[in-house]
Amino acid sequence: MATLTLVQAVRDALMCEMTEDSRVVVMGEDVGVNGGVFRATEGLQKEFGEERVLDTPLNESGIIGMAMGMAVNGLRPVPEIQFMDFIYPAFDEIVSEVAKIRYRSGGGFTCPMVIRTPYGGGIRGGHYHSQSSEAYFIHTPGLKVVVPSNPYDAKGLLISSIRDEDPVMFLEPKRIYRSIKGEVPEESYTVELGKASVVRPGKDVTILCWGAMVPVCMKAAELCEPRGADCEVIDLRTLVPLDESTILESVKKTGRVVIVHEAPKTCGFGAELSALINEEAILYLEAPITRVTGLDTPFPYTLEHIYMPDPERVALAVGKVRNF
């Protein structure tokens, strides 16, 4: 066991998979000599050469389009988009091409690939280095969407994603790239896609979250305990396909739900979770489902700490739901 940061665990997963499977190639802006602006690909080019770790021209549509063609022709590409805020030029290639190719060709062509991209705020990055735009991709049939929240899951989920037969959006919470360390086995292992994790069991209120909001919600749960609410915190880990049964089981137990995400409220994934709980467990509810999310504004710079959900805001919502 080694103690790694989340970004080191990402690198470790890439190293493992590139060693085991010669079809795995990595590409993106600055991923080669520089090892990525966050160092997620550090040393990979030295180890595997320029043909398997490609510094690309500065063009996101090109990175994804090229990766798709490579996947169609037998490789397992892991393209990196430097910040999720820069992914939009590649939106067409992702949602109309990568996501659709299996379906539109009747299963004749497939493109298994993992699009890695750091997402989220809390790093003083302003509007163009802070967004959480998972909802666009969750809304696109054909894509899987995975968000780790700790080093162990990051490695296991990334390895599972690379081995998956479908394209995966792998969203890395850059705010906690280095702030959280954890024990990570040196060997290869997988964490199954589509399985949520109950990171804190509790009986009063269910908190649903993922990525960088998981530590925020854990702190909120600590705040809530002396205030009389025992929170169950669920780290969804995979947003598509969603682990509905873990969510519903918890909701049926607590009857009270707070959903937390960084993305804007309207049409955020929280809305979908809320609808799911309404459809499947409405008779178990003791209070309205409550969302703690980013605002329906562009992501700010100076006041990002007010924009983003923090433990106190989550705790206040829990209190409201608990005392309804």
Partner 1 sequence: MQSGTEFMKKKTKNQESPTKKKNTKTDHESSSCEILRSDCYRIMNEDGTVDAKLDPKLDKELLLKMYRNMALTRAFDERGMMLQRQGRIGFYVPSFGQEAVQTGTAAPLEKKDWVFPSYREPGIFLYRGAGIYEMLCNLWGNRGDLSKGRQMPVHYSFPDIKMFSVSSPIATQMIQAVGAAMASKISKTKEVAISYCGDGGTSENDFHTALTFAGAYKAPAVFIVTNNQYAISVPLSKQTGAKRLSDKAIGYGMPGVAVDGNDVLAVYQVTKEAVDRARRGEGPSLIECVTFRMGPHSSSDDPSRYRDEKMYQAWLKRDPIKRLKTYLESRKLWDEKKEKSLQEELKKMLAEAVERAEAEPAPDPMDLFEDVYAELTPQLKKQKAELLQEVELRGKFENTSEAFPL
Could you list the active site residues?
129
Judged by CB under 8 A, the number of residues near partner 1 is 47
Phi, psi of 256 (to 5 degrees): -140, 135
Q: Cβ of residue 201: shortest distance to partner 1, in angstroms?
A: 23
- Is 30 among the residues that bind partner 1 (CB under 8 A)? no
Rg (CA), the chain: 19
- Is 282 among the residues that bind partner 1 (CB under 8 A)? no
Instruction: Output 113 or 315, the one with its CB closest to partner 1.
Output: 113
Phi, psi of 301 (to 5 degrees): -105, -70
CA atoms of 314 and 166, how far apart (whole Å)? 34
Which of 142, 202, 215, 309 is the binder for partner 1 (CB under 8 A)? 142
- Is 72 among the residues that bind partner 1 (CB under 8 A)? yes
Distances 217 to 130, 262, 285, 303 between C-alpha atoms, Å: 19, 12, 21, 20
Q: Please give the sequence-ordered ranges of beta strands (E in DSSP) within the chain, or none if there are none.
A: 2-5, 24-28, 53-55, 76-80, 114-119, 144-146, 168-173, 181-184, 197-200, 205-209, 231-235, 238-240, 257-264, 290-294
Instruction: Output 22 or 323, the one with its CB closest to partner 1.
Output: 22
Q: Cβ atoms within 10 A of the Cβ of 310, count?
A: 16
Within residues 185-214, the interface with partner 1 by CB under 8 A covers 194
Within residues 157-186, the interface with partner 1 by CB under 8 A covers 164-166
DSSP 95-119: IIIITTHHHHTTTS-----EEEEEE
Instruction: Output 67 or 154, the one with its CB closest to partner 1.
Output: 67
- Is 81 among the residues that bind partner 1 (CB under 8 A)? no
Q: Which stretch binds partner 1 (CB under 8 A): 1-9, 34-42, 67-75, 314-322?
A: 67-75
Q: Where on the chain is the footprint of partner 1 (CB under 8 A)?
A: 25, 51-52, 54, 56-57, 59, 61-62, 65-75, 77, 89, 92-93, 96-97, 101-110, 141-142, 144, 164-166, 194, 240-242, 244
